[in-house]
Structure 1
Amino acid sequence: MPVERNGVAALGAHAAGVGATQVVERMIDALGLATQSALARELGVSRGAISDAKAKNKVPAEWLLKLFRAHSINPFWLETGRGAKFLREDVVRENVADTPEQGRQGEYEFIPLVAARLAGGGGSAETSDRVVGYYAFRRSWLRGKGSIDDMRLMRVTGESMEPTLEDEDVVLVDLSQCDILVGKIYAVRMDDEIVVKRLERKPGKLVLVSDNRRFYEPLEVPVGDQINVEVLGRVIWMARELM
């Protein structure tokens, strides 16, 4: 298990292009099931949803996380077939607590890092929800931040949010927090692109504000049916690699 820093540990990036059919087969194997219908019941989805996932070659991250939480099935093994099939309790805990009681509460949630990039500058055309890795956060810390099931990690591209967010920073977005708090940072979809900005409001307009105001002026976007603008979620945490 990677060493924790500030309540979070990063897992290695997962292999790209993993076949959804193989992932579904590993799910069935790990659960000791006989059919795809039985897997659908375990996941709480329709059998058609599993067929669609295989046809689109895309397994929702929520399925992997649900099986991890319910059965300790290793998400990395599900996606790649490598590593341990199950993660023992002592593997997903970090024994860094000051007291036994704190240690018992020191469990982790695995939050997916998706391929979608948040553009700090021009829009990002990479909007895929394909999972490319996981970060492990302390559950107790996450509960104080928002809805764990709705959290996703994304990388930032560009310099418009410097110095707050720099190119290649990783941010944690809570997709359930879409109500605009003036001055907070959000992920926003504009047509087929995604940007990361501070948000402000004006009558009939959404104002997207960059921290790097020397080179990026605020963008006022009329809010209406003719323009596809959607607040995806609020940025609640960031991480930066120093090397």
Structure 2
Amino acid sequence: MTQRHDATSAAAGGFEGFFARAAQAADIASQAELAALLGVHRSAVTQAKKKDAVPKAWVLAVSRRTGADADWLEYGRPAKSAAKNDTAEDGPYIGVPKVRARLSAGGGSFETRGEVESVVPFRGDWLRRKGNVSGMVLMDVVGNSMEPEIRHGDTVLIDQGQTAIVAHGVYAMGVEDTVLVKRVEKRPGSLVLLSDNRDYAPIVLSGDEIDALRVIGRVLWVGREL
């Protein structure tokens, strides 16, 4: 039997109950729209319906993106008070989604999917001091171009609300079909994407290249396993 902390069971409302409440909260009408909201393949939603079980990460993702109470979305229970709701943005702990997309500290990553893999709790007061809580995500880094500051396999916290370039800040960026993590330097008429590892040459963007640059957000924190 699926454990309760891993998925919503049929006794707690199952898929249909979750979908009905998510549809109400997000103003969606189809499972395809739910998949788009979650950043998952349509087949993942179909499988969840067949199993009548919903991943906890989906519940928290819909809660964060709509403002709906996670406990209500999952179980249909009335919203908990803010003091007890650890997933609320004014609670003591806030769950930050970790997405499948990978940031390249190297030549560029083609892994750009926004599917939520897990939700990681952070202290709410710390997150609120850092920036826009509702726009924060965690992403893994591949490559060594940002060493020693950011290493291969590190996880970084990104605030997608901070897209205005601050000189020498570290940002997650989309360049054509790739996503990168780089330090940014402003120069007259150009932006320079710098690697902390001096074995990698700077990337100089100008004109239309700057217009095509997609700033995903600013990197606020780095975590790693020893």
TM-score, with normalisation over the residues of structure 1?
Answer: 0.67
Match of residue 53 from structure 2: none
Whole-Å separation in 1 of the counterparts to 2:93 and 2:218:
22
Q: Secondary structure at the residue paired with 1:123?
A: coil
Whole-Å separation in 2 of the counterparts to 1:226 and 1:217:
18
Q: Deviations over 1:25-51 (max 9, x none)?
A: 846425xxxx84x6422x132325x54
Match of residue 217 from structure 1: 201
Amino acid at match of 2:33: D
Q: Secondary structure at the residue paired with 2:69?
A: helix
User: Are residues 118 and 159 of structure 1, via their aligned partners in 2, closer, same or farther at CA, if it must alter by over 3 Å?
Assistant: same
Q: Secondary structure at the residue paired with 1:217?
A: coil
- Is 1:165 the counterpart of 2:153? The answer is no
Whole-Å separation in 1 of the counterparts to 2:195 and 2:222:
16
Unmatched runs of 5 consecutive residues or more in structure 1: 1-13, 16-21, 78-85, 94-104
Whole-Å separation in 2 of the counterparts to 1:230 and 1:206:
13
Native 8 Å contact 2:26 2:66 kept in 1: no
Amino acid at match of 1:218: P
Higher helix share: 2
Whole-Å separation in 2 of the counterparts to 1:220 and 1:115:
28
Match of 1:52 among 19, 33, 45: 33
Whole-Å separation in 1 of the counterparts to 2:153 and 2:170:
16
Match of residue 120 from structure 1: 105
Native 8 Å contact 1:206 1:223 kept in 2: no
Show the 5 A alignment for 1:31-42: 36=20, 39-41=22-24
Q: Secondary structure at the residue paired with 1:47?
A: coil
* Percent identity of paired positions between Structure 1 and Structure 2: 34
Match of residue 72 from structure 1: 71
Native 8 Å contact 1:121 1:158 kept in 2: yes
Amino acid at match of 1:202: R
Amino acid at match of 1:235: V
After superposing on structure 2, the runs of 4+ consecutive aligned residues of structure 1 that deviate more than 4 Å are 58-61, 66-69, 86-93
Q: CA deviation at 1:205?
A: 1.6
Unmatched runs of 5 consecutive residues or more in structure 2: 1-5, 46-57
Q: Secondary structure at the residue paired with 1:156?
A: strand
Whole-Å separation in 1 of the counterparts to 2:32 and 2:117:
22
What count of residue pairs does the alignment treat as equivalent? 193
Q: Deviations over 1:169-208 (max 9, x none)?
A: 0000000001111011000100110000000112332110
Whole-Å separation in 2 of the counterparts to 1:65 and 1:240:
25
Match of residue 124 from structure 2: 139
Q: Secondary structure at the residue paired with 2:222?
A: strand
User: Root-mean-square deviation (CA), in Å?
Assistant: 3.5
Match of residue 54 from structure 2: none
